[in-house]
Structure 1
Amino acid sequence: MNTYPRRTLTLALLSLLQFLIAIDVTVVNVALPAIGERFDAGPAALSWVVTGYTLVGGGLLLLGGRLTDLLGRRRMFLLGAALFAIASLAAGLAPNLETLIAARFAQGAGEALASPAAMSLIALLFPGPEERAKALGVWGAISAGGLVVGVLLSGVIVQLLDWRWIFGINVPLAAVVIAITPTLVRADGPRAAGRRLDLLGAALLTGGPITLVYGILRGSVAATLAGAVLLGAFVLVEARTKSPLVPLSFFAHRTRAVANAATVPLSAGLSTSFFLLTLYMQEVVELSPLQAGLAYLPFCGALLAAIFLTSRLIGAFGTKRTALLGLLVTAAGLGWLARLPDRGGLWVDVLPGMIGVAAGMGIGLLALQNAALSDVTEDDAGTASGVQRSVDQLGGSLGLAVLVGAVVGGGSAQVADYRAAFGWAAVGVLVAAAGVALTARTCPPRDPA
């Protein structure tokens, strides 16, 4: 299991499923107009096709991480992959918007089981800080590539085939992952009996963000407050239950706490960029779906280059200083996009900011991910992975919800809302950078934590 070739093949297998999961975060963006036309749905209803996947995935990731620690990593990885494949088939065959949204919810649940299991397997297969950074760099590069491939693939499929195929392609690839996993990943050892699951906490963490997003999209103060109350109840439940999804003492580890907190605005900025830039390029720059997808090629190149550079930056400067660099570059890119004109062009108005966001995200997210797994053990690797993925998903979902609530209007005022959204996203990332800078002041330059 621990020989180099076997570890490399295992990393490739785990990354393949994460690639499919990442594709499905963004693959629907370019297809939204076609889906809306097919089901006669407006922007607010269509936003659930995007956020439903990430909200359920983010809300259940902590439960997935806990199940990984309790029931076994290979078992949860296979179960999540199977659920993801079945839900993808249901999404491709959906006869109406409600069925499509329900299938997207199920895809998110599949991710919530598989992703923490994969991430914790990587953390334990590559225990050293530098080799773990390289392994997570490969995993992150493939995952980030999936985000961009999702946009490219969506443009090609919508223009040349039919939007339903954006989900159908997942099925055979997930089947390959399920078939090969038992040959590369060792069977789970015996697990302690009698350990309880915090199902109430999982329900609150899933229901709270969904209710909050519903309130934001509907402009309902009551629903928004109800979502906030559910999230507050989650904290109380975790503080009092004997078997919490994540013990609050977990966040006493300062590096993990800061890394997870900083991930929220960074992920919100990424969601902002993907969603709004896709709309801007089609509605303002007037690119076709295929052209809008191809316009993300520079984004993809900058993102992958930054990710492959990150492990060297971590080795030279430490994780926190590398994360700070990524946050500042991201804020600069978002700041550029906050000046989008009402009648802009691709090369001058969009691409410089897009590349800045891509480079900053590649460096920042990977560095924060590495920091969020600091000092993990066999007992809490799944929990740490679940927490990190959860804040990543929920941060992006909530950011996108606020965004969609701001841009459902039409006309030239819509572009003004785009500028405001990018501006606030930049402010959030700068606040995160300030928090990381304060904690990095006491760290030696080469401290990998």
Structure 2
Amino acid sequence: MTETVPKPGPGVGGRTANPRRWSILVLLCCMQFMLLLDDTVVNVALPSIRTDLGFSLAGLTWVVNAYVVAFGGFLLLGGRLADTLGRRRVFLIGTAVFAAASLANGLAQNPATLVASRAVQGLGGALAAPAALSMVAVLFTDPKERTRALGVWGALTGLGGATGVVLSGVLTDLVSWRWIFFVNLPVAALPLLLVPRLAPESRRAGVRRFDLLGAVTVTAGSSALSYGLLNTPEHGWRSARCLVALAAAAVLLAAFVVREATARDPLVPLGFFRRRRPMTANIAQILMSSANFGTFLLLTLYIQQVLAYSPMRAGLSYAGFFVGIFLGFGTAAPLVPRIGVRPIMVGGLGCIAAGMYWFANAPADGHYWANLFPGFVVMALGIAWSSFTINIAGVSDVPEREAGLASGVLNASQQLGGAIGLAVLVTLASDRTAGRLHSGTAPRLAQLDGIHLAFGVGGTVLVVGAVLTALLIGRLKPASVPPMVVLEDQDDVEVRN
């Protein structure tokens, strides 16, 4: 039986808003925060994991990479499954898989088990993340409310990454690295218990076919692309492993495009990519995430290996990042309805670039308040502004029946950007460090020079990205325009309690 969400509330187009929408948002945000946290939570704990489980240096990188490859590879599939099978159902399945894999991570007794469990954890995240964001877009029918909800969602991006680094250092020093995974369990338990009671189900109505061939090609192609990119820091761009993976990704993604052009009910309608505003938001997402992922790793190397901070002190040093995140969110929320999305997004990318330039000049004997704190604040401010507006623009002009797809593409852009950032920035830093070592430079100074180069290049790329975004994004003022998710015929969306 098909019905609308019960009880009136702020809404548009003849639809009523769910009176429990803000409670549901809190639960969805808890899970999204945990998914983002797990992108960085292992960084500071890696040396302890290597010692306890006997990882090789090369194998240790896959504690991070296995999660990113699976997460990035399955996101488009996860978004479309949410639209087709039900957003609440897919979210709960993904959350349960994520929680079970987190438990397996914490109990792992050997490298193979930990890497495999991290991959399964990424798969759970790829199901839960786009389903959650599409639920937010569908639940909030009033433009002003949706702006606030998506702004909160965007603020979690930088907050989750920074919290992961802090939590990793504190738990590793005080208890054990295993607790960086065990803490996921109570957080995942909340939405698993309460979302079925509070949130209605929603899906595309009347869809009976599923584009299996499209799902296989895009998932395999995305996974191959992430795998190839993430192997470049260790093996180099010209290695057979990277070239084969990238070539396979090109062939598979080309096959996916051909398939989608001819399929009766495509997994991703190609017309989706002709929507200028969402696609510009996705480009900005790739650029921001490349800086975000690369920055957390490079700063961790700088703080621990150049400045010689302990794991706990390294984690706590990210306190400045939280200042910038809260400052950014607090200022973006009132500014976006007044001046629109474009100035805030462009300004955010510019601030991230300024933060990267700041760290490109960090000295070998740097002090926290003089050399770390200002850069943390400026960069986090930029991440908050960019994330706030990217999430708004990324689901604008999109039919509600494609909300899961739009969310999946936005999340896939985040993971792709992270893989590119890790590949390019870490490779630049490693190559420059190796060259300086070969010329006789002291190891500490050689590593610092590599970090400086990576931050300088990253900052320049973001400046170019800010200019392109300013030219392409168009004007969007959420408080004064129709809903960002276009509500089509009532029959187009099936909602069930």
Instruction: Note whether the superposition's TM-score is higher than 0.5.
Output: yes
The runs of 5 or more residues in structure 2 that have no matched partner are 6-15, 435-442, 485-497
2:468 to 427, 435, 448: 435
Deviation of 1:200 after TM superposition, in Å, equals 2.0
1:231 correspondence with 2:249: yes
1:380 to 374, 377, 402: 402
Which deviates the most, 329-338 or 344-353?
344-353
1:424 correspondence with 2:457: yes
Contact residue 61 and residue 113 of structure 1 kept, 8 A: yes
Counterpart of 1:314 in 2: which secondary structure? Answer: helix
Deviation of 1:176 after TM superposition, in Å, equals 2.6
Q: How far apart, CA to CA, are the structure 2 residues paired with 1:12 and 1:444?
A: 26
Structure 1 residues 216 and 222, CA, compared in 2 at 3 Å: closer, same or farther?
farther
In the comparison of the two structures, how many residue pairs are matched?
Answer: 448
Question: How far does the alpha carbon of each residue in 1:39-65 deviate from its partner, in whole angstroms, 9 at most, with x for none?
Answer: 344554322222321222112111100
Equivalent position amino acid for 1:430 in 2: V
Q: How far apart, CA to CA, are the structure 1 residues paired with 2:445 and 2:290?
A: 24
1:397 correspondence with 2:412: no
Contact residue 324 and residue 380 of structure 2 kept, 8 A: yes
Contact residue 230 and residue 422 of structure 2 kept, 8 A: no
Q: How far apart, CA to CA, are the structure 1 residues paired with 2:279 and 2:219?
A: 20
Q: How far apart, CA to CA, are the structure 2 residues paired with 1:44 and 1:276?
A: 17
Deviation of 1:415 after TM superposition, in Å, equals 1.0
Contact residue 69 and residue 227 of structure 2 kept, 8 A: yes
Equivalence map 1:240-259=2 (5 Å): 240-241=258-259, 242=263, 243-259=265-281
Q: How far apart, CA to CA, are the structure 2 residues paired with 1:309 and 1:278?
A: 28
Structure 1 residues 406 and 352, CA, compared in 2 at 3 Å: closer, same or farther?
same
1:35 to 46, 49, 53: 49
Equivalent position amino acid for 1:87 in 2: A
1:25 correspondence with 2:30: no
Q: How far apart, CA to CA, are the structure 2 residues paired with 1:122 and 1:187?
A: 12
Contact residue 426 and residue 454 of structure 2 kept, 8 A: no
Deviation of 1:107 after TM superposition, in Å, equals 1.0
Structure 1 residues 19 and 207, CA, compared in 2 at 3 Å: closer, same or farther?
same
Which residue in 1 is equivalent to 2:112?
98
Question: How far does the alpha carbon of each residue in 1:300-319 deviate from its partner, in whole angstroms, 9 at most, with x for none?
Answer: 12112212322322212211
Q: Output the TM-score relative to the length of structure 1.
A: 0.94
2:141 to 101, 104, 127: 127
Equivalence map 1:339-358=2 (5 Å): 339-358=361-380
Deviation of 1:240 after TM superposition, in Å, equals 1.6
Deviation of 1:444 after TM superposition, in Å, equals 7.5
Which residue in 1 is equivalent to 2:102?
88
Q: Which runs of 4+ in 1 moved over 4 A?
A: 1-5, 188-191, 406-410, 444-449
Equivalence map 1:118-267=2 (5 Å): 118-188=132-202, 192-197=207-212, 198=214, 199-219=216-236, 220-241=238-259, 242=263, 243-267=265-289
Q: How far apart, CA to CA, are the structure 1 residues paired with 2:390 and 2:28?
A: 20
Deviation of 1:144 after TM superposition, in Å, equals 3.6
2:313 to 269, 291, 303: 291
Which deviates the most, 402-411 or 323-332?
402-411
Structure 1 residues 321 and 216, CA, compared in 2 at 3 Å: closer, same or farther?
same
Contact residue 337 and residue 477 of structure 2 kept, 8 A: no
Provide the identity percentage: 40
Deviation of 1:8 after TM superposition, in Å, equals 0.7
Q: How far apart, CA to CA, are the structure 1 residues paired with 2:219 and 2:369?
A: 45
Q: How far apart, CA to CA, are the structure 2 residues paired with 1:147 and 1:304?
A: 14
Which residue in 2 is equivalent to 1:312?
334
Counterpart of 1:342 in 2: which secondary structure? Answer: coil
Q: How far apart, CA to CA, are the structure 2 residues paired with 1:173 and 1:372?
A: 27
Q: How far apart, CA to CA, are the structure 1 residues paired with 2:221 and 2:114?
A: 24
Deviation of 1:282 after TM superposition, in Å, equals 1.5
Counterpart of 2:141 in 1: which secondary structure? Answer: coil
Which residue in 2 is equivalent to 1:360?
382
Contact residue 91 and residue 167 of structure 1 kept, 8 A: yes
Q: Output the TM-score relative to the length of structure 2.
A: 0.85
Contact residue 346 and residue 466 of structure 2 kept, 8 A: yes
Q: Tell me the C-alpha RMSD between the 2 structures.
A: 2.1
Q: How far apart, CA to CA, are the structure 1 residues paired with 2:114 and 2:146?
A: 37
Structure 1 residues 191 and 81, CA, compared in 2 at 3 Å: closer, same or farther?
farther
Contact residue 62 and residue 202 of structure 1 kept, 8 A: yes
Q: How far apart, CA to CA, are the structure 2 residues paired with 1:444 and 1:69?
A: 26
Which residue in 1 is equivalent to 2:440?
none
Equivalent position amino acid for 2:221 in 1: L
Counterpart of 1:95 in 2: which secondary structure? Answer: coil
Structure 1 residues 8 and 390, CA, compared in 2 at 3 Å: closer, same or farther?
same
Which residue in 2 is equivalent to 1:370?
392
